[in-house]
C-alpha cells in the first residue's frame, strides 16, 4: 500500500478547542527553521516572554511557554509546587478540577475537595469554610474557566481567600487567557497555566505559564526533587533566561514558537480589552440566535463564559447525528458534552479567530437547518 500526503479539509472550528487559527499564524509556521540556541531565536524567545507577560497582565520574571500542551502546563504547576504530604484545597466544578485532584494525589499530596455542581462557578464561601477547617493547607487550586461546562469562576475572590490563609494558588486559565479578563498581578495569582489553541488561536501543543516570586521561592525550598525531569522548572529556568544565551534543556518546537509569537503580536495589536469585548459581542450574537431556536444555556448568564457556550441539546435530538451532519455538510465542528454533560449538551466555542460574526451566522444557520 502506498500512502500519499494528507490534505485536511477547511473546517470551521467552533468546539472547545482547537480553535480556528489566524492565517498570519499559519504563515508564521512555514518560516525557515533555525536552531533553538541560535542568537536570533533566543532574541525571539525574549520577545515571546514579554508578549506573554502582556497577555497574562504580569511582570513575573518566570513567564514562559512550556513545550507541550496545556495538560503539561497543569502538571508543571503541580509537580513543582506540591511536595509529598502537602495539603491542597482543590475546587471541582467540572472535568478539569478533577484532573487537578489527580495531579495532587500523584505528587503524594492530600487533596481536600470543594465541590460545586456542574455548570456552576466555584463558590468562594465554600472555599473560605474549607480553608478554616484545614489551616495546614498550602495551596488552593481552581479552574478559572471550566472548559467542560462554560462556567467562569471569580479568580480574584478565591485568590484573596488563599492569601488570607497563607496559601499559594494554582490556576487553570486554559480557556480564559485572551478571552476574558485575567489579571495575574492585580489578583495576585501564583501559578497560572494556559494553552495555545484556545483564545490565542495558535497551533495546539504549547502551554503559556507564569509563576510568581512566591511560587518560585517554594520550588527553590523543595525538600525532595521534582518527580518529573522534563517539567522541573528549576531546570527550565536556565533555558528561558540569561543575558543573550541559554543553557541547553531540550530542543524547543521552533516553528510552533514562531506561531505563538505571531498570535501574541496579533493580540497585542488588537489590545486585550478589545479582544475581551470581541468575544463578548460574538457571544451575545450567538445567544440571541440560540434563544430564537429554543436552545437553553447550561450556565446562568452572570457566570457564563462568552468563548465557551455550553447549551442543552433539545429533547428528541440525536446528539451524535447532529454533530456528524454539521461536520459533513457544513465543515463545522462543535463539541460534545463531557462527564456529567455527555449526551446532554453541546459546547460551542467562540475562541480567538473564531469569535467573528460570520462564524456565528454559519453556526446558527447550520443548526437551524439540521434541527429541522
* Binding site listing: 347
- Give the whole-angstrom CA distance, residue 327 versus residue 336: 13
Strand partners, 210: 63, 192
CB-neighbour burial class of residue 182 (10 A; exposed 0-12, middle 13-18, buried 19+): buried
Query: Cβ of 130: how many Cβ atoms within 10 Å?
Result: 19
Element (H, E) at 332: strand 332-333
Spatial CA neighbour of 349 closest among 313, 319, 307: 307
- Give the whole-angstrom CA distance, residue 298 versus residue 314: 12
DSSP string, 262-306: HHHHHHHHH-HHHHHHHHHHHHHHHHHHHHHTT--BSS-GGGB-T
Backbone phi, then psi, for 105, in 5-degree steps?
-70, -35
Q: Which residues contact 267 (CB under 8 A, 6 or more apart)?
A: 51, 54, 55, 178, 200, 275
Q: Which residues are annotated as a binding site for substrate?
A: 347
Query: Cβ of 343: how many Cβ atoms within 10 Å?
Result: 10
Query: Cβ of 125: how many Cβ atoms within 10 Å?
Result: 11
Amino acid at each position: 500500500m502506498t500512502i500519499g500526503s494528507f490534505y485536511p479539509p477547511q473546517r470551521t472550528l467552533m468546539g472547545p478547542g482547537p480553535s480556528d487559527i489566524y492565517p498570519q499564524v499559519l504563515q508564521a509556521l512555514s518560516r525557515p527553521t533555525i536552531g533553538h540556541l541560535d542568537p536570533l531565536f533566543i532574541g525571539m524567545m525574549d520577545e515571546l516572554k514579554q508578549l506573554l507577560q502582556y497577555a497574562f497582565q504580569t511582570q513575573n520574571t518566570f513567564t514562559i511557554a512550556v513545550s507541550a500542551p496545556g495538560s503539561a502546563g497543569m502538571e508543571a504547576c503541580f509537580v513543582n509546587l506540591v511536595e509529598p504530604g502537602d495539603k491542597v484545597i482543590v475546587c471541582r466544578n467540572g472535568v478539569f478540577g478533577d484532573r487537578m485532584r489527580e495531579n495532587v494525589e500523584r505528587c503524594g499530596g492530600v487533596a481536600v475537595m470543594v465541590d460545586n455542581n456542574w455548570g456552576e462557578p466555584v463558590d468562594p464561601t465554600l472555599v473560605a469554610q474549607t480553608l478554616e477547617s484545614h489551616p495546614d493547607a498550602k495551596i488552593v487550586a481552581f479552574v478559572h474557566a471550566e472548559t467542560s461546562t462554560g462556567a467562569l469562576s471569580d479568580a480574584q475572590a478565591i485568590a484573596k481567600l488563599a492569601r488570607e490563609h497563607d496559601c499559594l494558588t494554582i490556576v487553570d486559565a486554559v480557556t480564559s487567557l485572551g478571552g476574558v479578563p485575567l489579571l495575574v498581578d492585580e489578583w495576585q495569582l501564583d501559578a497560572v497555566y494556559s494553552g495555545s489553541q484556545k483564545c490565542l488561536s495558535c497551533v495546539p501543543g504549547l502551554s503559556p505559564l507564569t509563576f510568581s516570586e512566591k511560587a518560585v521561592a517554594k520550588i527553590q525550598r523543595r525538600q525532595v526533587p521534582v518527580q518529573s525531569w522534563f517539567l522541573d522548572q528549576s531546570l527550565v529556568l536556565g533555558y528561558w533566561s540569561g543575558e543573550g544565551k541559554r543553557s541547553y534543556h531540550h530542543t524547543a518546537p521552533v516553528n510552533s514558537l514562531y506561531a505563538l509569537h505571531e498570535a501574541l503580536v496579533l493580540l497585542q495589536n488588537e489590545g486585550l480589552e478589545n479582544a475581551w469585548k470581541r468575544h463578548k459581542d460574538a457571544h451575545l450574537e450567538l445567544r440571541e440566535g440560540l434563544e430564537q431556536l429554543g436552545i437553553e444555556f447550561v450556565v446562568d448568564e452572570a457566570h457564563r463564559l462568552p468563548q465557551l457556550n455550553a447549551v442543552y441539546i433539545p429533547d428528541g435530538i440525536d446528539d451524535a447525528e447532529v454533530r456528524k451532519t454539521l461536520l459533513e455538510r457544513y465543515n463545522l465542528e462543535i463539541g460534545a458534552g463531557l462527564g456529567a454533560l455527555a449526551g446532554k449538551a453541546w459546547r460551542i466555542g467562540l475562541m480567538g479567530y473564531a469569535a467573528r460574526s460570520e462564524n456565528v451566522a454559519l453556526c446558527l444557520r447550520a443548526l437551524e437547518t439540521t434541527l429541522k
